[in-house]
Amino acid sequence: MAETVPSLLAQGAAATRAAAHLPPAAHLPSVAHLPLAAHLPLAAHLPLAAHLPPAAQSADATQSATRPAAEGFDVVVVGAGPAGSAAALTLARAGVRVCLVERGPFPGAKNMYGGVLYGRVLDGLLPGWWQEAPVQRWVTRRATMVVTPTQSLTVDFRTTAWGEPPYNGATVYRSDLDAWLAAKAEAAGAVLLCSTTVTGLTRGPTGQVTGVRTDRPDGDLPARVVVACDGVNSLLAKEAGLYRHPEPEHFTLGVKEVLALPRQDIEARFGLAGREGTDIEILGCTGDVPGGGFLYTNLDTIAVGVVLQLPGLASSGRRPEELIAGLKAHPAVAPLVVGGQLKEYSAHLIPEGGWDMLPDLAADGLLVAGDAAALCLATGIWLEGVNYAIASGAAAGEAAAAALASGDTSAAGLAGYRHRLESSFVLADFKRLRRAPGLVLSERVQRRYPQIACNLVERLFTVDNPNPKPRLLAAGRAELRRSAVRARDLARDAWTALRAFG
């Protein structure tokens, strides 16, 4: 039978001392099968109650009648991505005994994204975050480009305001960001356990979640609440039956190359100075596969990639690397990336179904946050997941702490989580933008409208003397006829867009 955490904590103090204050890089695969206790910081070997600040100790005492005998942690958070670290930080600050479990050898080791963090969500959690966050560049130029194989049309916005505190968006490497956020949770008192994969949930006689199973020979982790922040395709949310209709069309595959270029070349190509950065979102660049592209600047690398709807990718028979190669060869993109040395190639699923794919957010003893709860917003002009992950992780942490304090960790006791999300930007955005993912991935938005827009502008700016200047309305009608878009469909799409974005 698996040993409990308290017995493990009692055993391994000596082994732990050495590992206690090593940086994330020290949690490498070579130590992956040391006993569980060997990964816990020194402080974890004190009696568990010693971790609780005075206020939480008294709250704890009032709960003793309603809680089972103290074993392990109050909360296990699975996954040290942005959602998990925000949850663990919030819980630790509330004086809750929390373990943050990560399968990678250090937080961020396995994670990828396009590259922009929208930091406003950190203002409350980590005031003045911009002074120490591991930022590459501050995004001061934001462009949305529509392309056809031979044309491009860009709305290119710049502002100096985003280059000053409190900033707006920043390009950040995930290995840096995730390690930084997890270190904040650790500093607040959370126990970070790396190189440990959670393989399932443990349950009590009534079905209530009572902890997690891990891939360690010695390590089930009992807990009164589990917060699943295990990312897209969450094993734990699925095991708990929280997803009713996971449809393949709700997922895209994000594929990214990181290309190294001298810093001065990047600044010259993108018109940047100092720490200024660019974010370009691209529509119409994925051929017959619904999706989109992106291009972000880091200090001395460029991230370029595509997101590809799964069923469309499968039926196209095309490879993601072909589609990135096509994007890099596009006449509007090639001059920006030429000569870049490939440093990294990575791929990851993205939950893009929005409101329609959201799972139940709680079960008895279980909450789910971040990508695990499909809280990633992909609406063409916005691809944001990290800020929703942080907000939902923090809300899950608050709700779990409140449920522990009330002694009710059933789904009803944890319902405060959904209320918190409903009264924040998280579910407000998902609800309002519920029709956006379907619209953006539709064939008209993917291919026909970019073609119409590019042709129209080409016509407008082509000087065709001795013919007189074209009339815009007439040219628009001619383009619509040529592309076989029916007025009815155009009106319906415009109405959907207005309702979503208006």
Ligand X SMILES: Cc1cc2nc3c(=O)[nH]c(=O)nc-3n(C[C@H](O)[C@H](O)[C@H](O)COP(=O)(O)OP(=O)(O)OC[C@H]3O[C@@H](n4cnc5c(N)ncnc54)[C@H](O)[C@@H]3O)c2cc1C
Site residues, ligand X (CB under 6 A) = 78-84, 101-104, 110-116, 197-198, 229-231, 235, 254, 256, 305, 307, 348, 350, 370-372, 376, 383-387, 389
Using alpha carbons only, give the angle 372, 375, 380 rounded to the nearest 5 degrees: 130
Residue number, 294 or 449, with CB nearest to ligand X:
294
Residue number, 218 or 371, with CB nearest to ligand X:
371
Distances (CA, A) of 469 to 232, 462, 466, 481: 52, 9, 9, 20
Exposed/middle/buried for residue 376 (C-beta within 10 Å: 0-12, 13-18, 19+): buried
For residue 277, what is the enclosing H or E element? strand 276-283
* Smallest separation, CB 374 to ligand X (Å): 9
Using alpha carbons only, give the angle 155, 160, 163 rounded to the nearest 5 degrees: 110
* Smallest separation, CB 159 to ligand X (Å): 19
Q: How far apart are CA 294 and CA 280, in angstroms?
A: 6
* Smallest separation, CB 261 to ligand X (Å): 19
Rg, the chain, Cα only: 25
3-state class (DSSP) for residue 408: coil
Q: How far apart are CA 279 and CA 139, in angstroms?
A: 7
Residue number, 105 or 163, with CB nearest to ligand X:
105
CA 488, distance to chain mean position in Å, is 36
| C-beta of residue 101 within 8 angstroms of C-beta of residue 221 | yes
Residue number, 291 or 413, with CB nearest to ligand X:
291
Q: How far apart are CA 228 and CA 370, in angstroms?
A: 9
φ/ψ of residue 102, rounded to 5 = -130, 130
Distances (CA, A) of 10 to 44, 51, 173, 177: 10, 15, 38, 33
Residue number, 382 or 501, with CB nearest to ligand X:
382
| C-beta of residue 42 within 8 angstroms of C-beta of residue 199 | no
| C-beta of residue 256 within 8 angstroms of C-beta of residue 339 | no
Which residue has its beta carbon closest to ligand X? Answer: 385
Residue number, 81 or 95, with CB nearest to ligand X:
81
φ/ψ of residue 115, rounded to 5 = 145, 10
* Smallest separation, CB 255 to ligand X (Å): 7
Residue number, 114 or 416, with CB nearest to ligand X:
114
Residue number, 93 or 348, with CB nearest to ligand X:
348
Residue number, 133 or 453, with CB nearest to ligand X:
133
One-letter amino acid of 199: T
| C-beta of residue 190 within 8 angstroms of C-beta of residue 99 | yes
Q: How far apart are CA 175 and CA 154, in angstroms?
A: 31
Residue number, 95 or 108, with CB nearest to ligand X:
108
Query: Residues 6 or more apart from 382 whose CB is under 8 A from it?
Result: none
